[in-house]
Amino acid sequence: MRRFAALVDSLIYTRSRNAKLAAIAAYLRATPDPDRGWALAALTDSIDFPAVKAATVRNLAGTRIDPELFRLSRHHVGDTAETVALVWPDAPDGEQSDPTVDAVVQALSATTRATAPDVVASLLDAMDANSRYAMLKLALGGMRVGVSARLAKTAFARAFEVGIDDVEELWHALDPPYEALFRWAEEGGKRPDLSTTPFFRPFMLSHPFEGDSLDLGQFAVEWKWDGIRVQAVHLGGETRLYSRGGDDISAAFPDVVEAFDRDGVIDGELLVRGTDQGGEAASFNALQKRLGRKTVPKKMRQEFPAFVRVYDLLMEGEEDLRLLPWHQRRQRLEAFVPKLNADHFDLSAVVEVDDFAALETMRAGARDAAIEGVMLKRRESPYLAGRVTGHWYKWKRDPLNADCVMMYAQRGNGRRASFYSDYTFGCWTADGDLLPVGKAYSGFTDDELKWLDRFVRENTLNRFGPVREVKKSLVLEVAFDSIHESKRHKSGLAMRFPRIHRIRKDKPAEEADRITTLRGMIS
């Protein structure tokens, strides 16, 4: 565990991408199976111990330390797992052991909610402070060491000098601790056979379009639908639905999974039909009601029926189409989709426009709830893993903006533990009251954060634990992708992806926007 803890810490403190790659690659080469596989799974959040909860760990602290001392410590550190790791008493010299990552994973996997406290406590007892930290982060999930799955795979590819696309593909087909993957990469062993497993194929992603013009003879135009990107796989008699990150989300959408009954792999946008919109695709807000569910009540399936608007065909039967140009895949797709259950699958249309000027007008005018912008796809593009330059572009419609007034601020976590970095802001009612309309914690630079933090400290009216109420004097120009009805805020509105666009030091708070103005932006 100490080696793994040292890796975690070096990833925390290193900002350079190359140094991170080097650190992971060195660890993977030097560490035996199955520890390195578990470590890889931990770094990429591919491992989960549902029996261990944050509350388990928090409560455990109370068995070794006074709750008030823990509270003061937690407040200083800003992170529960780290606080527990630091305050946990060290075993006397010579009584510390250094359990393997495998031993830790086995112990954590075997726990139930009832045994979790004892298991975690005995692991904590055996370790030094850095290992305790790494173990708790592993147990609770979410290492937050600035390592994306893509970065970890790149490090793997570098460590053993194999192709990144091969790693991507095999990775998703195998389970931690990926021993077959290491065997293949390290010893040039046999490539694991995947022909009958319904595994995830990496998505092809796009770059934002930043040009002034584009030759529409070379590029086809599609709507960019505002749902979640999914891949539906039906192979070897099994069906799976994967999210963009490769997570299996089949359980949340049994209606879609049951309906996909032809051998193949499709890429599309998962949407729900909104009855209030005449059976058309509803807003993302409606889709959210079905996300993240482990089981789906029948009523929910009826009220928010899910369907996939299909963009692309990756495999038909056992034939891999990914290296064909887009226009050929499109032909195959147009023949494939009509064979599917029409309640749950339809084709994302290719949009016909005469020229680029017409496209600009069309994009600007698109305010359909389920449209996020347009996609521009090179007609000759193969289907490639990841974000490859020059093939696909997304051109989102412009964000909406509103001038809001800062009302409350909350301390951040981790690196931002000493900053008030999460801001709740509001707009005016007709009666001259401020009601909260959203909360944002991004969009500003480090210097702006320092300025905002100082503003909060100097303009505090009230303190509620980590939250401060501030003088209602600062106007924040907030950018957001869309706005919806919501019961979460008193204002009855909720923004999607709100972020601080500008700090309007120049604007008096009375001149910020009114709730009615925002209500007019609901699409």
Partner 1 sequence: MAKAKHWIEPHPQGIYVRPADIWIDPSTPKKHAVVTHGHADHARGGHGEVWATPETLAIMGLRYGTEAGTPLGYGDGFERGGVRFSLHSAGHVLGSAQVLMEYEGERVVVTGDFKRRPDPTCAPFEAVPCDIFITEATFGLPVFRHPPIAGELDKIFARLEAEPDHCLLVGAYALGKAQRVIAELRRAGWDKPIYLHGAMVRMCELYEEHGVSLGALRLVMDTPKEEMRGQIIICPPSALTDKWSRRLPAPVTAMASGWMRVRGRARQRGVEIPLVISDHADWDELTGTIRELAPRETWITHGSEDGLLRWCELHQIKARALAMIGREDGDDG
Tell me the catalytic residues.
224
Q: Report which DSSP code applies to 409.
A: E
Tokens of 421: 């970095």
Q: Which of 25, 53, 73, 327 binds partner 1 (CB under 8 A)?
A: 73
Measuring CA to CA, which residue among 246, 232, 211 is closest to residue 386?
A: 246
Residues with Cβ within 8 Å of residue 242, at least 6 apart in sequence: 172, 200, 230, 231, 232, 233, 248, 249
Verify binding: residue 91, partner 1, rule CB under 8 A.
no
Q: Which stretch binds partner 1 (CB under 8 A): 77-85, 353-361, 474-482, 512-520?
A: 77-85
Q: Say whether residue 86 binds partner 1 (CB under 8 A).
A: yes
In degrees rounded to 5, what are phi and psi of residue 221?
A: -115, 135
90 binds partner 1 (CB under 8 A): yes
Per CB under 8 A, the list member of 30, 32, 50, 66 interacting with partner 1 is 66
Among residues 78 and 198, whose Cβ is nearest to partner 1?
78
Other C-beta atoms lying within 10 Å of the C-beta of residue 358 = 12
Check residue 239 for interaction with partner 1 (CB under 8 A).
no
Residue number with CB closer to partner 1 (68 or 458): 68
Q: State which residue, 451 or 497, has the beta carbon closest to partner 1.
A: 451
- What lies within 8 Å, CB to CB, of 212 at 6+ separation is none
Q: Where are the alpha helices (DSSP H) in 237-376?
A: 254-259, 284-288, 298-303, 326-336, 356-365
The window from 69-77, 117-125, 167-175, 282-290 that contacts partner 1 (CB under 8 A) reads: 69-77
Estimate the crossing angle of helix 80-87 against helix 54-64, to 10 degrees: 30
Residue from 57, 87, 140, 204 that binds partner 1 (CB under 8 A)? 87
Size of the site for partner 1 (CB under 8 A): 26
Candidate ranges 115-123, 339-347, 412-420, 480-488; the one touching partner 1 (CB under 8 A): 412-420
Q: How far apart (Å, rounded) are the C-alpha atoms in residues 406 and 425?
A: 4
Q: Does 98 bind partner 1 (CB under 8 A)?
A: no
Answer yes or no whether residue 82 interacts with partner 1 by CB under 8 A. Answer: yes
The single-letter code of the amino acid at 32 is P
How far is Cα 261 from Cα 458, in angstroms, rounded to an integer?
62
Conformation bin of residue 299: beta by default, left when phi > 0, alpha when psi is -120 to 50: alpha
325 in contact with partner 1 (CB under 8 A)? no
Binding to partner 1 by residue 78, rule CB under 8 A?
yes
Is residue 162 a contact residue for partner 1 (CB under 8 A)?
no
The total number of residues written for the chain in this structure: 523
Q: What burial letters (b/e) apply to 190-221, b meaning 16+ CB within 10 Å?
A: eeeeeeeebbbbbbbebeebeeeebebeebbb
Coil, helix or strand for 80?
A: helix
What gap in Å lies between CA 123 and CA 120, rounded to an integer?
Answer: 5
Per CB under 8 A, contacts with partner 1 among 349-388 are none
Per CB under 8 A, the list member of 418, 442, 516, 517 interacting with partner 1 is 418
Q: Is 76 in the site for partner 1 (CB under 8 A)?
A: yes
Q: Angle at the Cα of 274 (from 268 to 275), degrees rounded to 5?
A: 140
Considering only 91, 103, 121, 129, the residue that binds partner 1 (CB under 8 A) is 129
Residue 394, φ and ψ in degrees, nearest 5? -110, 140
Q: What are phi and psi of 48, to 5 degrees?
A: -145, 135
Residue 296 lies near partner 1 (rule: CB under 8 A):
no
Burial of 130: CB neighbours in 10 Å, binned 0-12, 13-18, 19+: middle
- Scanning 62-70, 101-109, 215-223, 313-321 for contacts with partner 1 by CB under 8 A, the matching segment is 62-70
Is position 414 an interface residue for partner 1 (rule: CB under 8 A)?
yes
Cα–Cα distance between 495 and 518 in angstroms, integer? Answer: 10
Closest contact distance (angstroms) between CB of 151 and partner 1 is 18
Distance CA 230, CA 245 (A): 9
Span of 80-88, 254-262, 369-377, 448-456 interacting with partner 1 by CB under 8 A: 80-88
The Cα 63–Cα 82 span in angstroms is 16
Name the residue nearer to partner 1 (CB basis): 87 or 475.
Answer: 87
Does 68 participate in binding partner 1 (rule CB under 8 A)? yes
Residue of 362, 417, 435, 467 interacting with partner 1 (CB under 8 A): 417
For residue 182, the SS3 value is helix
Applying CB under 8 A, the span of 36-44, 339-347, 411-419, 462-470 interacting with partner 1 comes to 411-419
Among 196-204, 238-246, 302-310, 410-418, the segment contacting partner 1 (CB under 8 A): 410-418
Give min distance, CB of 190 to partner 1, in A: 34
Interaction residues for partner 1, span 132-151 (CB under 8 A): 133
Task: Give the nearest distance from C-beta 20 to partner 1 in angstroms.
Answer: 11
Stretch (H or E) spanning 438 = strand 434-440
Instruction: Please give the residues from 13 up to 32 whose contact with partner 1 meets the rule CB under 8 A.
Output: 13-15
Closer residue to partner 1, CB minimum distance, 128 or 186: 128
Residues forming the site for partner 1 (CB under 8 A): 9, 12-15, 65-66, 68-69, 72-73, 76-79, 82-83, 86-87, 90, 129, 133, 414-415, 417-418
